[in-house]
Amino acid sequence: LFFPPGPAAVAPPQPAPTMNCRAEVLEVSVEARQVEEAMLAVLHTVLLHRSTGKFHYKKEGTYSIGTVGTQDVDCDFIDFAYVRVSSEELDRALRKAVREFKDALRNSGSDGMGQISLEFYQKRKSRWPFSDECIPWELWTIKVNVVNLANEQERQICREKVGEKLCEKIINIVEVMNRHEYLPKMPTQSEVDNVFDTSLKDVQPYLYKISYQITDFLGTSVTTTMRRLIKDTLAL
Amino acid sequence: AMDTDLSSQDRKDLDKFIKFFALKTVQVIVQARLGEKICTRSSSSPTGSDWFNLAIKDIPEVTHEAKKALAGQLPAVGRSMCVEISLKTSEGDSMELEIWCLEMNEKCDKEIKVSYTVYNRLSLLLKSLLAITRVTPAYRLSRKQGHEYVILYRIYFGEVQLSGLGEGFQTVRVGTVGTPVGTITLSCAYRINLAFMSTRQFERTPPIMGIIIDHFVDRPYPSSSPMHPCNYRAGEDNGAVYPSVEDSQEVCTTSFSTSPPSQCVFTVTKAHFQASPPVVTDTLKVPVMGLAFSHQLSSSRLSCQPAALGVGSADMGYPVLFAGGLNAAHPHQLIGPGREGGVPLIPSQPAHGTQADQERMCTPLDGGHFSAATPSSSEDTETVSNSSEGKCGSPHDLLETIFVRKVGAFVNKPINQVTMANLDIPFAMFAPKNVELEDNDPMVNPPDSPETESPLQGSLHSEGSSGSSTGNTHDDFVMIDFKPAFSKDDILPIDLGTFYREFQNPPQLSSLSIDIGAQSMAEDLDSLPEKLAVHEKNVKEFDAFVETLQ
């Protein structure tokens, strides 16, 4: 199978076969230089709610939970501040994904539209030779529209407007979080890696993956167009 | 039906959770209004004291206040815990910004597991609170506090009081957690018309130093608890030193050199005036100097005309606003050709024919930082009287300007010195030295024979391209050489400039002359008795007519 050059991240998420996956979509219009900060603000806010302290399992199936610290982040290009989990590893991972997304947006040559997705999933172990299943239970999609501004005055207004928009997004996210809908059951020690990402040393987010798509001007994703081209070529 | 009652252990746990949740809620809110960025560390090993698995610091005073307000009780139906965030300016005006409410309603969730689900959901709710406290308008205000205003908090327990938030306040729900004894709700009601409270409004006030608020201002509920500043550091730095109020005030003089192209030299000297006690002009007190101009910068668009910096014609002297904050003991001079040294007061700009606009712009001397040179906040009142120049004749002007005009060439009537003090009419400096008295006013005392003197006659005395027409003491301008563009016309025998000068002072209207006016008045008065008699005779008719109109 030929996969077109694209994001280094995982392929776009598949719909869950047996479980309902909660899906939320947020949309933002930002200037190119605001993309990173806006994405980080949203992703960090979601992960703040979807991370716990590190589990320490004790005898008889009980466990204790570590402490999650938080810190304020000021944006440079947006009149906005947000709170993130105090974990450098997590911050690095998010920044890496967002940077790739930003670069892809810039290089795509499209008119600056794309989306980045944060998916929380559970692993279901399958028997050999089948690989483990990834079953998403929550999917956050941020649709991004990059705008070009003509002068400094417009940029200043954009700073404020995007700041206000992000405030609304944070409120939306908190609303969703407050619904207390499906969350994976707290796992036993043997199952913890199927539910949580235990690779970080100071916090423990639910298993997640980040992917993105760049939209070409026809509104279809680039990968879809490429696949179609290849299929057509092969059919000849 | 008998539901499974809450076990006593569960009940005890639940009460403890709610109590500590309330205390942590207060900490998060107050810390989010300190004006600083908060940062706590994650710790993989549980310390045992971090409630809800979150690293939230406990500021002792805040815990103390919260416990005092709760007085051993827990939020229950009708008994809510409220954290009120308000803003207080250096003048003592205060305004409520937000009310954070932790409430309990009757909706119970008997099935829920206390020690597990409720605890985790309370933890999630605190995370939501961390996020939401950064997105309400008060957050940005609190990050800028310290100079012009402080943010205060007040905790009370009981009924929620939202009336202080003004009309149209908005609410945001942080979240809810169901428990077997009721549903905990956390929300925030916040004032939205903070647009009036832009930082510009607060630029006028001097910094607040070391204010510990232990009383409250205009509280509608006298029994309510005292207010506290969110930023405890305000009490610590008493070290800020402010320059003492200057007794003398800076004076700006302008002068022209005699030969074209004229140069304008702005000289600033210290003049010694009596320091009159300043007077409060409006509720928002304006300090001396520096900060007053930030208001003008943004509101009145004053522009300084450095046309005299060797560029453009130099007919008129333009008054120059002296940007405050300068405490120099020696005169400062603008850079002009041939002059050396000195601090450039106004950046040189070519006069792009803007002199027609006659607008002035005040440029701050030190790049726009007004906050440093302000007196201590104990100076309550400001000067009303002085205004440097007409256009900015607001009470906030605190400077006197003395204009010294050395006239340029081709001026018939040199005006040696025009001293204008305490004037706030526009272009005061152009008013003639002799103040117009009533007897000079042609409206009051018309010329003896206005018809006989032809307007042209008066102007024939003018000499060539000289400025003023003779015999005319009412010149508002001294025109050196008025050469309007495209003024030559083949059709008319005279050019526009001459025409203008000739007809600058037309004869007054005859109907406005006192003689004729008096005449008609006398006639009116004479005819009055007659008219009254007529009306009296027909009074019944008139009354009937009025009736029909009712």
What is the ipTM, given to two decimal places?
0.86
When pLDDT is averaged across residues A194-208 and rounded to a whole number, the result is 96
* Tokens 């076990």 belong to residue: B7
Residues of A in contact with B127 (CB under 8 A): 48-49, 70
| B175 in contact with A, Cβ within 8 Å | yes
Please state whether the predicted TM-score (pTM) of the whole model is above 0.80: no
Q: Chain A closest CA to B48's CA: distance in Å? A: 9
Residue B511 has a pLDDT of 65
Q: Which two tokens stand for residue A1?
A: 């199978």
Does A185 reach chain B within 8 Å, measured CB to CB? no
Who's near B283: CB < 8 A, 6+ residues apart? B91, B93
Both structure tokens of A221 = 């994703």
pLDDT at A98 over 80: yes
What confidence category does residue A222 fall into, taking pLDDT thresholds of 50, 70 and 90? low
Q: How far is A193 from chain B (nearest CA, A)?
A: 17
Q: Note the pLDDT of residue B439.
A: 47
Partner-chain contact B175 A65, CB within 8 Å: no
pLDDT tens digits along B513-538: 666 656 667 777 888 888 888 888 88
Higher-confidence residue of A169 and B280: namely A169
Count other C-beta atoms under 10 Å from residue B397's C-beta: 25
Which is higher by pLDDT, B347 or A210? A210
> Which residues does residue B172 pair with via DSSP β-bridges, in sequence order?
B188
Q: Which two tokens stand for residue B342?
A: 């000195």
Cβ separation B121–A180 shorter than 8 A: yes
In a domain, B117, yes or no: yes
**In chain A, how many H helices and how many E strands?**
5, 10
In a domain, B165, yes or no: yes
Q: What confidence score (pLDDT) does residue B289 get?
A: 35
CA distance A209 to chain B (A): 21
Task: Give the residue on B whose Cα is nearest the Cα of A48.
Answer: B127
Domain range holding B173? 8-197
Subunit contact A86:B125, Cβ cutoff 8 A: no
Q: Is there a domain that residue B453 lies in?
A: no
pLDDT at B267: 34
Nearest to A155 by CA among A27, A35, A34: A34
Q: How confident is the model at residue A232 (pLDDT cuts 50, 70, 90)?
A: low
CB within 8 Å: B134 and A170: yes
| Residues of B whose CB is below 8 A from A85 | 42
Q: Per the CB < 8 Å rule, is B37 touching A74?
A: yes
Q: Is residue B534 part of a domain?
A: no
Residue B289, domain member (yes or no): no
Which of chain A's residues have a Cβ under 8 Å away from the Cβ of B175? Answer: 174, 177-178
Is A72 close to B45, i.e. CB distance below 8 A? no
Interchain CB contact of A203 with B (< 8 Å): yes
Test B39 with A71 for CB contact under 8 angstroms: yes
Residue B43 to residue A85, Cβ atoms within 8 A: no
| CB-based contact, A232 to chain B, within 8 Å | no
Where b means 16+ CB within 10 Å and e means fewer, A79-118 reads bbbbbbbbbeebbebbeebbebbbebbeeeebebbbbbbb
Measured between CB atoms, does B127 come within 8 Å of chain A?
A: yes
Least confident of A5-9, A100-104, B128-132, B403-407: B403-407
State how beta strands A113-124 and A133-147 pair.
Answer: antiparallel
The predicted pLDDT at position B183 comes to 95
Provide the residue type at A180 as one letter: H
In angstroms, what CA-CA distances link B184 with A97, B49, B187, B195?
A: 37, 23, 10, 32
| Residue-level pLDDT at B477 | 52
Instruction: State whether the Cα torsion A40-A41-A46-A51 is positive or negative.
Output: positive
pLDDT at A3: 43
| Contact status of B40 with chain A (Cβ, < 8 Å) | yes
pLDDT tens string B371-413: 333 333 333 333 333 333 333 333 333 333 333 344 444 444 4
Q: Average of pLDDT values for A133-154? A: 93
Q: Is the Cβ–Cβ distance between B61 and B21 less than 8 Å? A: no
pLDDT at A235: 57
Instruction: Please say whether the beta carbons of B151 and B228 come within 8 A.
Output: no
| CATH for B23 | 3.30.900.10
Angle between helix A35-49 and B119-132 (nearest 10): 160
The pLDDT score that the predictor gives to residue A88 is 97
Domain total in chain B = 1
Contact A202 B172 (CB under 8 A): no
Q: Is residue B336 part of a domain?
A: no
At B486 the pLDDT is 62
B176 touches chain A (CB under 8 A): yes
Query: What would the two tokens of residue B537 be?
Result: 């005779």
Question: d(Cα A183, Cα B228) in Å, to the nearest integer?
Answer: 40
Q: Does A181 touch chain B (CB under 8 A)?
A: no
The low-confidence residues of chain B, meaning pLDDT below 50, are 1-3, 195-196, 198-224, 232-424, 428-429, 431, 433-475
Read off the tokens for A122.
């559970």
DSSP-derived letter for residue B372 is: T
Contact criterion met (CB < 8 Å) for B42 and A66: yes
Q: What is the pLDDT of residue B225?
A: 58
- The two tokens of residue A220 are 């279809």
Domain annotation covers residue B181 = yes
Mean pLDDT of the residues in chain A: 86
Long-range contact set of residues A148-155: C-beta below 8 Å, sequence gap at least 24: A148/A31, A148/A32, A148/A112, A149/A31, A155/A31
Residue A53 forms contact with B (CB below 8 Å): yes
Q: How far apart are CA A200 and CA B1, in angstroms?
A: 49
Instruction: Give pLDDT, residue A50.
Output: 97
* B511 located within any domain: no
pLDDT at B123: 96
